[in-house]
Structures are given as C-alpha cells and as structure tokens.
Amino acid sequence: MEILVLVKRVPATDSQIKPAADGKSYDPAGLEFVLNPYDEHAVEEALKTKAAKEGTVTVLTVGGKEAQKDLRTCLAMGADKAVLLDPGQEFDGKSLSEALAAKVKELAPEIVFCGKQSVDNDDAQIGPRLAGLLAWSCLTDAASLEIGDGTWTGQRDIEGAKEVVEGKLPAVISCSKGLNEPRYPNLKGIMAAKKKPLEEGSAELGAPALTVIALTPPPARPEPTIVGEGPDAVDALMDKLKNEAKVL
C-alpha cells in the first residue's frame, strides 16, 4: 500500500509569537521550530499501517530548506522517502490543498495521513479540502482507525459521544492526539535516515483566496486585583465575583 503523510514545520507550542514588521505575519527570529505535533501522530499511523499492510511511506512538506530537518526526523522514525516542495510564494488553505492534490495524483497513494491541524495558524482545512478536490473519503480528527480490504473504519470523539464511521479507500485521514503514541526516532533509524531519498521540487501554487490583513498579539492580561487577605476578604471577593465578574 502506498502511503503519503503530509507534515509541516511550525513554531514550538510554547513559543512567544511576535508580529513581524509588516503587521501581517509572525517574526520567526528566535523561535524554535518543530514538527507539527499532530503530524507526529500522522507519521506514526502511517508507519503502523505500513507494518500491517506493507508498502512504502512517503512524507511530504511544503516549506523552506530548513524543513529538511523535520523530514529527516520522519525518515528516522521509519518513513521510506521524503519530498520537500518549495512554495516560492504565500499560500492559504485553498492554494495549498490544490497544489497538494496535484502532487497526490502524481504520487498515487491509496491513503493520505495528515495532522488534524497545524498549530501555527490552526485553520484545519488541508485534510478535508484535499479529500474534496480528489473526491476521496475523509475522516477528520481521527481518534482510532482500522484499515480493511479497500475500506476503513474510524472513530471520532465528538462532544459527549464517540462517532464510528466507515468509508472506502482511497481516503484522507486527519489525525488527532488520541490516535496513537508516536515513536521516538531510535538510533538505528537516525543512522538509516541519512541514506534515504529526500527529493526536492516546487509546489505548483495558484492564487490564494484569503489574504491576511493583520496579525496582532492577544490583549495583555489586566493586572490582578488583590481584594484582601484571609477570611476578612471573603465578602469583598464574593461581591466582585457577583457584580463585576458576574460569574456567580
């Protein structure tokens, strides 16, 4: 089974994001970048699928040269080959998913795994948009997955319930955290990764449909008010909770 995993290099989740001088993007200076945490689950699920069904796992990202490091991490985890596509221009969910759909047709996998969203801009569009463009079945926010013969059964955690769904292959699976426990790149995997192919090309990106017009930091938290200390402060605190915060 040919398996494709889509991954992205993103700022670490504990990064302090600062807007860049243009006021529309973030300043990458001083940030630590990592493989998108949900994508680690996508890679793990792809490797488990390969173990059950054989075949090859290709991992693909659209990004700059620095994303080679993240692709090597995926290769060290056990992926067979990697593809790095240079975007050359700004993109949004629409233009990126169109470029990915073109590449998916070329690579012809039977299943595509991706994280349910990337933690940088969190728009969670790529999985469902890609499935739509390909007219494939799609499981979003997958919490479990079983692949049968030409079919799949998956589970999603929805508000207050678990939803079990099934579909036919080919499919796009967007992966959530409960799906599996991603493996650590082991030392043999790291040694093997440098001998695996990492192919570079360009993403065929069209015009984006969205334009970011402003990126601003969230408002600073107001200074806390200390209403007093000990039992004497209880009345004042209750009053504030009732009449100012209106939470009681």
Partner 1 sequence: MSRYTGVDFYNLDALFTEEELMVRDSIRQWVSDRFLPLVNEHYRAGTFPMELVPEMGELGIFGPTLPDYGGAGMNNLCYGLILQELERGDSGLRSFVSVQGSLCIYPIHAYGSEEQKEKYLPGMIAGKLIGCFGLTEPDFGSNPGGMITKAVDDGDSYILNGAKMWITNGGLCDLAVVWAKLDGRIRGFIVENGTDGFSTRDQHGKFSLRASVTSELILEDCRIPKSHILPQVEGLKGPLGCLTQARYGIAWGAIGAAQAVYHECLDYSLSRVQFSKPIAGYQLVQNKLVWMLNEITKAQFLCWRLGNMKDDGSMDFSQVSMAKRNNVWMALECARLGRDMLGANGVTDEYSVMRHMCNLESVITYEGTHDIHTLILGHKITGIPAYD
What is the contact surface with partner 1 in residues (CB under 8 A)?
12, 14, 32, 69, 72-73, 76, 184-188, 190-191, 193-194
Using DSSP bridges, classify how beta strands 81-86 and 111-115 pair: parallel, antiparallel or unpaired.
unpaired
| Residues β-bridged to residue 85 | 62, 201
Asked if 136 and 110 count as a contact pair (C-beta separation under 8 A), the reply is no
Nearer to partner 1, 165 or 190 (CB): 190
116 within 8 A of 156, measured Cβ to Cβ: no
The Cβ of residue 186 has, within 10 Å, a number of other Cβ atoms equal to 12
- Pick the closer one to partner 1 by CB: 108 or 226: 226
Shortest reach from residue 73's CB to partner 1, in Å: 6
Q: How far is the C-alpha of 73 from the C-alpha of 77, rounded, in Å? A: 6
Min dist CB 71 to partner 1, Å, is: 11
Smallest distance from the beta carbon of 203 to partner 1, in angstroms? 23
Nearer to partner 1 among residue 32 and residue 149 (C-beta):
32
Q: Which one, 188 or 246, has the nearer CB to partner 1?
A: 188
Q: Which is nearer to partner 1, 73 or 155 (CB)?
A: 73
Contacts of 200 (CB under 8 A, 6+ apart): 83, 84, 85, 86
CB of 230 to partner 1, least distance (A): 20
Block residue for tokens 């929805």 = 158
Does the bond joining 170 to the residue before it have cis omega, within 30 degrees of 0? yes
Residue 138 C-alpha from the chain's centroid: 15
Smallest gap from residue 188 Cβ to partner 1 (A): 5
